[in-house]
A = this chain, B = another copy of it.
């Protein structure tokens, strides 16, 4: 399953002591080829963790042999010692796998600012232990080892005519911006070159992970990696591959949304009839980041006034007095004025569907977010303690 569903991949997940609970905390995913193609997208935060700085260099040639991922520490703002830890992690894996260190990506997640000698020792030992356990059935274990506040692992697989895409994810976040660090590894045995892999990955993440905005916060460690083994021997139609990859990414994004820290509602914000897709995204994101709206949804309150107050802060083309708003199938606002009474809206289901009809154009975008809850505050205030 997950990253070992496609042919040509092995994975493992082990407990190296990074998590105080003793649960699995270190994963390795290895591409056995014949192709060793890779592509990756990273957080756009200027405050980048050491693994991001390393992996951005390592991916430049489009070749990836392996990815090492740890939970239990973000290795971010840990100085040159922290960067050396990442470097040594790649070197350790490369030595044991007999590949070049520059073809090993590293991902970390956990608390920022921690990464001492003890942390380094556990990561290096864990890397060796995981490599010793690599197997074509290791995908499930790997998906467990990257979890932090996740309540369950996230996995997705799509199979098309002769080739397969599989992936795993952790976190309840996104790329830009994101929260709680999103780490994703996707593998495929389709035959692609690095330019094709990169293009397909950017296309797929642009309309999936990039539109998941749980709490407006951008992580220092977000990374999505695609590894291509070509082991199926099948060269897919580019559009078919991109669609399948988008389906895997969208599936994983929905799983991340459904397990976001402390959330009690999964909110789908559909912006319609915008002048441009960029406008639609801007409008949707403004609502996804509005604490007052998100707290209202937590309270099952169809407070559409907060929707209009949120979108009024954007530069998108629309007339605030000519906007319609629907909540869970009920039109609560027509042309900027009250329509159906609040009592007509049932917000008790976890799935919440908001439509904002800007009535100016033909573009559409959907943003996924969550409500703002007591549990969100609790989980994020108690995070480091």
Interface, chain A (partner B; CB < 8 A): 44-48, 74, 76-79, 111-114, 177, 179, 215-220, 289-292, 295-296, 298-299, 301, 303-306, 308-314, 320-321, 333, 336-338, 342, 372-374, 376-378, 380-385
A179-B292, A305-B76, A337-B79 are known contacts. Are A312 and B381 too (CB-CB below 8 A)?
no
Given contacts A46-B313, A112-B303, A113-B333, 5 further A-B contacts (CB under 8 A): A47-B309, A48-B320, A77-B305, A220-B312, A298-B377
Quote the shortest CB–CB distance from A347 to chain B (angstroms): 11
- Given A308-B112, A336-B77, do A313 and B376 touch, yes or no (CB 8 Å)? no
Give min CB distance, A372 to chain B, whole Å: 6
Say yes or no: A303 contacts B383, CB within 8 Å: yes
**Set B321, B342, B378: member contacting A374, Cβ < 8 A:** B378
Please state if B77 and A385 are interface contacts (CB–CB under 8 Å). Answer: no
Q: Contacts A336-B77, A377-B374; is A308 near B47 (CB within 8 Å)?
A: yes
Nearest-neighbour CB distance to chain B for A72, whole angstroms, equals 15
Q: In the bound complex, do residue A299 and residue B381 qualify as a contact, i.e. CB atoms below 8 Å apart?
A: yes
Q: Are B305 and A113 in contact (CB under 8 A)?
A: yes
Is the CB–CB distance between A377 and B295 below 8 Å? yes
Are A301 and B385 within 8 A (Cβ)?
yes
Q: Give 11 pairs: A residue, B residue, CB < 8 Å, sorted on A.
A: A47-B312, A111-B305, A177-B313, A217-B310, A291-B372, A295-B376, A295-B377, A301-B382, A372-B377, A374-B377, A374-B378
Contact present for A309 and B377 (CB under 8 Å)? no
With A291-B215, A292-B215, A320-B47: A220-B112 Cβ-Cβ less than 8 Å = no
CB-nearest residue of chain B to A81: B337
Q: Note all chain B residues with C-beta closer than 8 A to A47.
A: 308-309, 311-312, 320
Which residue of chain B lies nearest to A217 when distances are taken between CB atoms in the complex?
Answer: B292
Most chain B CB within a 10 A radius of its CB, from A44, A74, A298, A384? A384
When the two chains form their complex, are residues B308 and A77 in contact, meaning their CB atoms are under 8 A apart?
yes
Check A113–B385 contact: CB distance below 8 A: no
Question: Are B338 and A308 within 8 A (Cβ)?
Answer: no
Q: Distance (Å) between the CB of A42 and the closest chain B CB?
A: 13
Q: For A218, list chain B residues within 8 Å (CB).
A: 309, 312-313
Closest residue of B by beta carbon distance from A314: B46
Measured in the bound complex, the distance between the Cα atoms of B320 and A220 in whole Å is: 11
Complex-state Cα separation, A306 to B384, whole angstroms: 11
Contacts A299-B382, A338-B77, A381-B298 known; A45 to B312 CB distance under 8 Å? yes
A342/B295 in contact, CB under 8 A: no
Query: A86 CA to B119 CA in the complex, in Å?
Result: 64
Q: Which of B46, B289, B296 contacts A216 (CB 8 A)?
A: B289
Whole-angstrom CA separation of A337 from B49 in the bound complex: 11
Q: Closest residue of chain B to A323, judged by CB?
A: B47
Question: Hey, which chain B residues are within 8 Å of A313, CB to CB?
Answer: 44-46, 177, 218
CB–CB A380/B296 < 8 A: yes
